[in-house]
Structure 1
Amino acid sequence: MAGLFESTGEGSAAIALDEIEASILRSLEVQMLELIGPGPGADSDDPLAALFAEGPTEAPSDPALRRLFPDAYGEPGTAADEETRAAASEFRRYTELDLRARKREDALAVVKAIDGLGGEGGKLELEAGDCPRWLGALNDLRLTLGSRLEVTEEDEEGLYALPDGDERKPLVMAYLWLGGMQESLIEAMTG
């Protein structure tokens, strides 16, 4: 079971991570937390103000963040007309802060679970309710790495053939490993 999930019944799962795997996954999730950040306008300590806070109206400039927080309207990679841009802006304004909060909670859940191993490897057991959180966190990591690596469907197979000297190799290895984890978690949740 090293590095992949197995079903423990009724939608729950378990994974055995060695010390290095746990450290890598934790480091990636901490970097995800830093990338996501609190989001524009979300830094109020007043719960009432936070409830009525409005998010940004423009898509992030960072390609990885744009992948995590895409426009809800229009086709990716094509110029949108005025009406589509206005709809996407309005949708983003009311949803991005909540989406950022959920992504932070997902990443933090993974970090806390790994911290529970005490800095060593070990077996993590996830309740059925924790599995979707982990699935979301793994997906966010893969989207981010895929964006940084500029992965497309056409060249994903080529990732397996990268020479060892390629500077992208460590990120590609993480991308592929996270994909395996993600797939095994889905199978564990449904099997």
Structure 2
Amino acid sequence: MSGGFARHRRSRRLIANFTGFEADLLRSLAGQLVELLRNEAAQPRDDVDPFEALMDFSGPTTEPEDPVLARLFPTAYPGDEESASEFRRFTEGALRDGKAAAACTIIEGLEEAGLPPELTEDGLMIDVELDEPAAETWLRSFTDLRLALATRLGVEDGDEAYWHSLPDEDPRAQAHDIYEWVGYLQETLVDALSS
């Protein structure tokens, strides 16, 4: 897998070099996250106040059914259903849009760096260069991707031995390797941003 992110000494930009496979995998993960965020829309309501409709505060009021979305948008007030519902209604729509936009930034960055719409070349290398604002956006999206992967896989604190005991050909082990790789990218990006 790639060497992760580093800060270029002269330009001060953050750089990473991905194989075509890695870049395509990262694009696919970000695309799946965007699809999940945009397809799980709030249920339409007929009882919306006209002022409320103007202000577009008609977001969802209940916790998402999908476990990944429930992890990405946890209940703000676990002991107070009414406050939690109101908070979700006023914030979740914007949070979803922000998370989807961050994931789109990864896709756009990879494609601007030369990743073709369909990966057909063996040996293709993609050099990504990010300024600090773009790098911070990628970092936020890496967090979302790791949460999504961890939720789908059922990763828990202290279960590393279980994951490492799985045979390499086990699809769960392969998915966990992807989860760890995204964590590695996240870690190198944090280090590069602080250097």
Report the TM range for the smaller structure's normalisation.
Answer: 0.7 to 0.9
Name which of structure 1's ranges 4-13 and 104-113 shifts more when overlaid on structure 2.
Answer: 4-13
What TM-score comes out, normalization by structure 2 length? 0.83
Please list, as runs of the form range in 1=range in 2, the aligned pairs for 1:64-83 lying within 5 A after superposition. 64-74=68-78, 80=79
SS in 1 for 2:14: strand
Partner of 1:5: 5
Aligned-residue CA RMSD in angstroms?
Answer: 2.3
Partner of 2:125: 121
SS in 2 for 1:53: coil
- Cα displacement string for residues 29-55 of structure 1 (whole angstroms, at most 9, x for unaligned residues): 11111111163269xxxxx95742321
Retained in 1: the 8 A contact 2:14–2:130? yes
Name which of structure 1's ranges 135-144 and 4-13 shifts more when overlaid on structure 2.
Answer: 4-13
CA distance in 1, matches of 2:187, 2:77: 28
**Alignment partner of 1:100 is 2:112:** no
**Alignment partner of 1:186 is 2:190:** yes
Change (3 A) 1:169 1:50: farther
Name which of structure 1's ranges 29-38 and 99-108 shifts more when overlaid on structure 2.
Answer: 29-38
Retained in 2: the 8 A contact 1:11–1:189? no
- Cα displacement string for residues 122-147 of structure 1 (whole angstroms, at most 9, x for unaligned residues): 21010011111101111111000000
Which residue of 60, 66, 72 corresponds with 1:62?
66
Which consecutive residues of structure 2, in runs of 5 or more, have no partner in the other structure?
A: 45-51, 117-123
Retained in 2: the 8 A contact 1:73–1:85? yes
SS in 1 for 2:8: strand
Change (3 A) 1:35 1:11: farther
Q: For residue 15 of structure 1, what is the amino acid of its counterpart?
A: A
- Cα displacement string for residues 100-143 of structure 1 (whole angstroms, at most 9, x for unaligned residues): 01001100000011111132432101001111110111111100
SS in 2 for 1:129: helix
Partner of 1:174: 178
Change (3 A) 1:11 1:105: farther
CA distance in 1, matches of 2:75, 2:66: 13
Greater gyration radius: 2
Q: CA deviation at 1:152?
A: 0.8
Retained in 2: the 8 A contact 1:29–1:108? yes
Change (3 A) 1:51 1:106: farther
What TM-score comes out, normalization by structure 1 length? 0.85
CA distance in 2, matches of 1:144, 1:11: 31
Partner of 1:23: 24
* Percent of pairs with identical residues: 36
Q: CA deviation at 1:164?
A: 1.6
Retained in 1: the 8 A contact 2:23–2:115? no
Partner of 1:40: 42
Change (3 A) 1:50 1:60: farther
